[in-house]
Chain A
């Protein structure tokens, strides 16, 4: 069974600074997708960034980028130029590229952003 581990229950960052959230996963699959989702107090899960395992290039979406290390099964999220609106719970998630498209989530990291 696949597992996703987020070892940082909470992280803090100041506005305009950079923060990195960690995620490791365990799988025997060779093809899969990894995601970072953001869940603000409104509860709606919002997709931040997606990485396909077959791609060596790390995904980037504006201020958000990932460091994908397939051999180490590591998938960290870097948020640059942090903004107050980035404060939320962040979940790392895994999905195999086979079968039905269900997601396995980590327990989440609460990101606090201070002015």
Chain B
């Protein structure tokens, strides 16, 4: 069984640029959630995708967008990067059935300068 993987591991971008982060779900999982974890904080929910459609969204602006592909892998896109976007971005996959256990990837560390 393959776990959740994310790429890249680390990324440095300049304010105003755009970034794409990638996530491969655990085998068989059809739901992907993205979280932002600022330094010293707990993860905050960005959005969730199920069957290639956004299925819920946290308190993040529209410049945070995503995609889910037929193989259930997913992308998180952030436009017009701001310094406050510097964080660890976590992807979690799950099945859409009880107990909806979420399995996390190792995250992508994004630094915006």
Q: Which residues of A contact B (CB under 8 A)?
A: 4, 33, 37, 42-47, 50, 52, 91, 93, 95, 99-108
Contact = CB atoms under 8 A, between A and B. Distances in A.
Instruction: Determine the interface band of chain B, counting residues with CB < 8 A from chain A.
Output: 20 to 34
Contacts of A101: 31, 33, 48, 94, 96, 100, 102
Contacts of A46: 104
A108 B44 CA distance: 12
Q: From DSSP, what is the main secondary structure of chain B's interface residues?
A: strand
Nearest to A4: B42
Contacts of A108: 40-42
A106 B43 CA distance: 8
A44 B55 contact: no
B73 to A, nearest CB: 18
A50 B33 contact: no
A47 B45 contact: no
B106 A44 contact: yes
B52 to A, nearest CB: 15
7 contacts: A47-B102, A93-B42, A101-B94, A105-B42, A105-B44, A107-B40, A108-B41
B28 interface: no
A95 B55 CA distance: 15
